[in-house]
Amino acid sequence: MKITALEIISNDINKAIHFYHEILGFELVASSPEKAVVKIGHTLFTLKHDNQAKGVYHLAFDIANNHLEEALHWIAAKMPVVKDKDHNEITGFPAWNAKSFYFYDQEDNLLELITRYDQHSHNSQPFDQHAIIGINEVGISPAAPLVLAEDLVSNHGLSWFAKGPKLEEFCVVGDEEGMFVISRAGRNWYPTDKPAGHIPLRVLVQANGKESEFSFA
């Protein structure tokens, strides 16, 4: 499942442009007082202005297996890295055969750079913003995660993530290339004390040979 486009809301478009374009260096595709669009690998990422924006988004960006340490230093030179419960900057997920680290954007949305070793990805170029493959995870926070996930699988042709989990409060739909991480509203986004909340987003994905658009609120 490839995430080709994502739209979230932002309280301040100028601050969003400063963070994603000027600090992280992503290409600014379009901008206006109402929205900004940046290109993150294969994903077009739109931030739409809304003064009432409340809540914390969680997004993960995919990077090559050999880029993890280099990417950590690249981000740490620009902003603080969020440490996990064991006070480590890099967190391992053995069940997923993946490692990642976390940081915040200009509105305290939780961002993550993740590498998945079963992808067997390698990039011989030095790490910078151009080496990010695309948005790999989109966090969604409904009241009933399993109900939403079962609808996505049964009625929209998506699949359960083979490595799980599949729990009442937390489940995953998609695959190694892209996934919806579905966490119950009010449950904290790991590794923070910031709860997931009902905040709108729109996603365009390619899966099973077709393109589909999903809107969540």
Amino acid at 100: S
Half-sphere exposure of 143 (CA within 13 A, CB side): 0
Give the CA dihedral 47, 2, 191, 217, nearest 10 degrees: 50
Q: Can you give the pLDDT at residue 84?
A: 94
| Highest CATH level, class, for 2-216 | alpha beta
Vertex 145: Cα angle to 175 and 138 (nearest 5): 45
Helix (H) or strand (E) holding 152: helix 145-156
Mean predicted confidence (pLDDT) in 140-168? 96
CA distance 52 to 41: 29
Q: Is the pTM of this model over 0.75?
A: yes
Vertex 103: Cα angle to 217 and 168 (nearest 5): 45
Contact yes or no for 5/97 (Cβ under 8 A):
no
Which of 137 and 217 is assigned the larger pLDDT?
A: 137
Q: What is the pLDDT of residues 35-79, one digit of tens each?
A: 999 999 999 999 999 987 778 999 999 999 999 999 999 999 999
Looking at the chain, the whole-number percentage of residues with pLDDT higher than 70 is: 100
Domain ranges of the chain: 2-216
Q: Alpha carbon of 89 to those of 110, 155, 214: distances in Å?
A: 14, 39, 33
CA distance 191 to 209: 35
Closest-CA residue to 70 (of 125, 136, 20):
125
Contact yes or no for 139/196 (Cβ under 8 A):
yes
Closest-CA residue to 12 (of 134, 139, 108, 82):
108
Give the mean pLDDT of the chain: 96
Contact yes or no for 45/61 (Cβ under 8 A):
no
